[in-house]
A and B are shown apart, each in its own frame.
Chain A
Amino acid sequence: QVTLKESGPVLVKPTETLTLTCTVSGFSLTNSIMGVNWIRQPPGKALEWLAHIFSNDEKSYSTSLKTRLTISKDTSKSQVVLTMTNMDPVDTATYFCARMRWESGSGKIDPWGQGILVTVSS
């Protein structure tokens, strides 16, 4: 069974750096057809894709947020980490990690983690 679980602080102050960890099980981060995404959703709003890391460690970032984001992985721990700098109240959202399965040139997001609600407030 494939599972992903997000962990990290639920409250951060403005200007601080957010560090979130996604711990995966049921698949390997070194599997050539597997990757992991980070996606967020502000309360009552739509999903927003943030970043992706491929099995070969290649990374992709949202154009609008790339200066603030860093994605990395620790294959020995089966973990993917996202850091976001200079947090602002508008970054308050539920942050999801989700597996990306690459087959026939198509990247399918499935399954998703349960998500973690991060509030930015002083």
Chain B
Amino acid sequence: SYVLTQPPSLSVAPGQTASIPCGGNNIGGKNVHWHQQKPGQAPVMVIYDDSERPSGIPERFSGSNSGNTATLTISRVEAGDEADYYCQVWDGISAQGVFGSGTTVTVL
């Protein structure tokens, strides 16, 4: 089955940029979506189709996808961005949803 790999954690200072990678075999050929989950809450989609932002999501959130890595980028990081972030794809070959292992972003 298709596997998505993320680093377990990432620390970033306020005002800096956080880049969260999501690795997968030829992930550039798939549509990647990103979900933010704050403690005790349900996830919220923050990026869809590699780089599109849903309404209500700040412009500071952006995404890219090429080759074997998709990336979620959070610019001008704020304390409120502290959360777990999961990448997600639909694997058409196996007809299954797939989540990455999640990355915990800590704002120093």
Contact = CB atoms under 8 A, between A and B. Distances in A.
Interface string B68-108: 00000000000000000010101010111111111000000
Contacts, number: 64
Interface residues of B, number: 25
Given A46-B101, A47-B86, A110 B45 contact: yes
Interface residues of A, number: 25
B99 A47 contact: yes
A46 B1 CA distance: 17
Interface string A83-122: 0000000000000100010001111111111110000000
Interface of A: 37, 39, 46-49, 52, 60-63, 96, 100, 104-115
Interface of B: 1, 31, 33, 35, 37, 42-45, 48-49, 54, 86, 88, 90, 92, 94-102
